[in-house]
Amino acid sequence: MIENQSDNTEKKEENVSEDSNISESSPVIENQIREDKQSLETNDEKIYAEDLKNTISNNDARLEQLEKEHETLKSQYVRIAADFDNFRKRQSRDQDDLKVQLVSKALTAILPIVDNFERARQQLKPESDEAQTLHRSYQGLYKQLVEVLKQQGVSPMRVVEQQFDPNLHEAVLREPSQEFNEDIITEELQRGYHLEGKVLRHALVKVSMGPGQQNSQEPKEKDKVEEDIDSESSISDEN
């Protein structure tokens, strides 16, 4: 009985000793826990900062790549838009040219009829009332034909006393003229026409070669100069 009590007493003393040891070491443990916690928080902050830095770097690289792709697509769009605009303009121009060619072909076939009307008007000299009536009817048809040509954009050339231009005129005859200088159109043999500012048919014309007497004197003057040169050379040879 006494032994049991002593054992219990010893155990109590041991427990009290352990409790006192725990109470003495608790501040140290708390400090260690606090330090460990702070260390973990610091590591977590470093890891978070590193992850955030990597994320920002990746986003910057991705943004730069997207900007490059955007510029590439923008350049392709601008080029395609320009090509399409050029294609549209070319198609419109080709259609206009084709239209002009078709109209020109049709009008060119009509022009000989207009020429015949003009020749007949110059040759006919109505004397009787019946002939004058017929002439007026003929003039009405001619005016209608000319009006149709005007509506289609056809206009006649005025060539007499104008400077000869091979882009507009075709010289059929060239002859001396005391009245006109050289390369001046003296007579219209067949009328030329414009269509919307372009040549529909060249005018057949007669062109002046200038005063004939002056032209005939030029060889004589040339021969005289050559004779003078020959005489001078012969004199130099004699010396």
CATH topology of domain 156-239: Nucleotide Exchange Factor Grpe; Chain A, domain 2 (2.30.22)
Strand partners for 185: 207
Query: 15 falls in which pLDDT band (50, 70, 90)?
Result: low
CB atoms within 10 A of CB 228: 10
Sheet holding 193-195, edge to edge: 154-156, 193-195, 198-201
Q: If you ran DSSP here, which 8-state letter would residue 162 be given?
A: S
Distance CA 208, CA 176 (A): 6
Choose the weakest-confidence range: 14-18, 36-40, 86-90: 14-18
- Torsion angle defined by CA atoms of residues 221, 222, 228 and 232, in that order, rounded to the nearest 10 degrees: 160
Radius of gyration (C-alpha) of the chain in whole angstroms: 56
- Both structure tokens of 114: 């207009």
The Cα–Cα gap between 108 and 97 comes to 16
| In contact, 204 and 190? CB cutoff 8 Å | yes
Higher pLDDT, 123 or 19: 123
Average pLDDT for residues 165-188, to the nearest whole number? Answer: 90
Strand partners, 155: 194
| pLDDT at res. 64 | 86
**Residue 160 backbone zone (phi > 0: left; psi -120 to 50: alpha; other: beta):** beta
d(CA 219, CA 210): 15
Domain ranges in the chain?
156-239
Closest to 187 in 3D by CA, of 199, 172, 201, 202: 172
Q: How far is CA 24 from the centre of its chain?
A: 95
Nearest in space to 209 (alpha carbons), one of 218, 196, 221, 200: 218
Within 13 A of 149's CA, how many CA atoms are on the CB side? 22
Q: Are 160 and 191 in contact (CB under 8 A)?
A: no
pLDDT at position 180 is 87
Does the pLDDT at position 239 exceed 50? no
Average pLDDT over residues 178-198: 89
Say what the pLDDT of residue 225 is: 42
Residue 206: what pLDDT? 92
The string of pLDDT tens digits covering residues 42-83 is: 776 777 777 787 888 888 888 888 888 888 998 889 999 999
Bigger pLDDT: 90 vs 28: 90
- Considering Cα of 195, then 200, then 206, then 211, what sign does the dihedral take? positive
